[in-house]
A and B are shown apart, each in its own frame.
Chain A
Amino acid sequence: MAKGIEVIVLNEDTTKTADLWKSVRTTAAMVYMSPEMALSKSFQKLWKESQLRNRLTAVVVDEVHCIDEWGDDDFRPLYRKLNTLRNYTGYEIPIVTCTATA
């Protein structure tokens, strides 16, 4: 089962390791994270780096029905603010969304 993709998870458990951010910037092929992480201040710095944006093939939003169901007021309000990612990606980087519950 040897697979040659460098995959990284960014969440509160893993962000404390220092080389993780570096590998997100340079080598990682896939990064999994929550919308809160994607819109957090530390990651917004990364969005503004052209090095990261040149590397980006696509931004995938999994389980998009959450935007509708969870994005209301209280539970996970940042789901509704995912559209601000468009400001960073521009039209060059496609945004792909998928769900099984629509």
Chain B
Amino acid sequence: MIWRQGTVYFVQWNINYNLTKFFNVDHARCDKMSASNHGLVGPSNPATTPHPSTPSKSRRGSNASQGPPTPHRDRSPSFRTPPSTPSRGINRSNAPLPTPATPRQRKDNALLRLHGIKTRMPGNLSLDSIRTRPIAELSLLYTPDDWQVHLIRRIFQGYDSIFCAGTGYGKSLVFEGLAILGGAGKLVIVISPLKALERDQVCYLLSNFQLLKFYGRQSKLWRRVLKS
């Protein structure tokens, strides 16, 4: 242990020394100041003298060279108590060492957690913004219902869902809302059974210019069907 402590001091002093050198600190002045703080005269305080090689010697030396002032009363703390072991990074000097009786840190039981459920939503996804942003972007003539807004929010939280709604109740608004509110670079994949259904919904979503491009992509057959 002694050997280890010795090496630790060595390292610490080296660091002190290098730091003071780096910041252009006047060593002699520093020593004087610290000595006057401790009630000593002369550059003899081992806590501040950057002398890495022989800590114990310098201590003894300082004791001896303290001629006049206070032979019986050492006011420098380093004489009475050895400096504590420097802590690594975070100051854990007060924390007790772990014993076999110490309770372990626990994580949540993974089996009890819901997989994939996000507890933190992005800040811009309040219920109000979920309600209003699709109106602006899809130029809707009505406001989305409560069930749609809450469902979109739940889906963003990561919940899987099944919902049944009659024709014209706004099922497709839910996934259009998902696409709009998801943000830039996000994608919603819709799996639908019929080409005609896909086409209807896309035609609803695209602007006229995009529609032209869209039909340009289609086969000749579709174009003929659409003309007629």
Contact = CB atoms under 8 A, between A and B. Distances in A.
A3 B198 contact: no
Contact of B222 (A3, A13, A17, A26): A13
B187 A5 contact: no
A11 B179 contact: no
Nearest to A11: B195
A94 B161 contact: yes
B19 interface: no
A72 interface: no
A57 B178 contact: yes
Contacts of A66: 193
A26 B185 CA distance: 7
A91 B191 contact: no
A55 interface: yes
Contacts of A17: 217
Nearest to A76: B193
Nearest to B220: A13
Interface in A30-78: 30-35, 38, 52, 55-64, 66, 70, 76
Contacts of B158: 91-92, 94
A11 B161 CA distance: 26
B174 A96 contact: yes
Given A5-B176, A33-B190, A55 B207 contact: no
B207 A58 contact: no
A20 B217 CA distance: 10
Given A2-B207, A5-B176, A91-B115, A35 B193 contact: yes
The 10 closest A-B pairs by CB, nearest first: A91-B116, A91-B115, A57-B182, A32-B198, A62-B192, A2-B207, A55-B187, A102-B164, A60-B175, A29-B179
Given A30-B190, A55-B187, 16 more contacts: A7-B206, A13-B222, A14-B218, A20-B217, A24-B187, A30-B179, A31-B187, A31-B188, A32-B198, A33-B192, A57-B178, A59-B189, A92-B158, A94-B159, A97-B161, A102-B164
Interface of B: 115-116, 137-139, 155-156, 158-167, 169, 171-172, 174-176, 178-180, 182, 185-195, 197-199, 201-202, 205-208, 210, 214, 217-219, 221-222
5 contacts: A2-B207, A13-B218, A62-B172, A62-B192, A97-B162
